[in-house]
Amino acid sequence: MSSAGYVVPNARKHLSEPATLRLKSFDRPFVFSLLAVLLVACQPAPSDPPSADVADPCGAETLQSLVGQPFADVSLPDYEPQRIFRIGDAVTMDFIETRRNVQLSEDGVTILAISCG
């Protein structure tokens, strides 16, 4: 085969052979290492076992018996972070799952709600 005086050696042989990918011996460890890394990356991450406090991270459920009682007569257990506010008070809108919120009546006398967030 000649094209403008240039001869392509074994041109017919290369065109008739099927294309195959041959890895050199030094490429194989790299390819296998890459495959191993990809397989490990596809595995799901181990998860921590769910704890009993997932539904109630701040302990508000245990204090629901205090709702409706006068705030002055109640001794709340020490807990941080805790936010005590009256209806109508300005409070931040951020949600902190472990924060205990104690909502008081407008006059600050009665406990209306105890919740997390």
pTM of full prediction above 0.95? no
- Give the pLDDT of the chain (117 residues) as one tens digit per residue: 555 566 656 555 555 556 666 656 656 677 777 777 777 666 666 555 445 456 889 999 999 999 999 999 998 888 899 999 999 999 999 999 999 999 999 999 999 999 999
CA distance 32 to 54: 42
Q: Which of 18, 103, 21, 6 is nearest to 64 (CA)?
A: 103
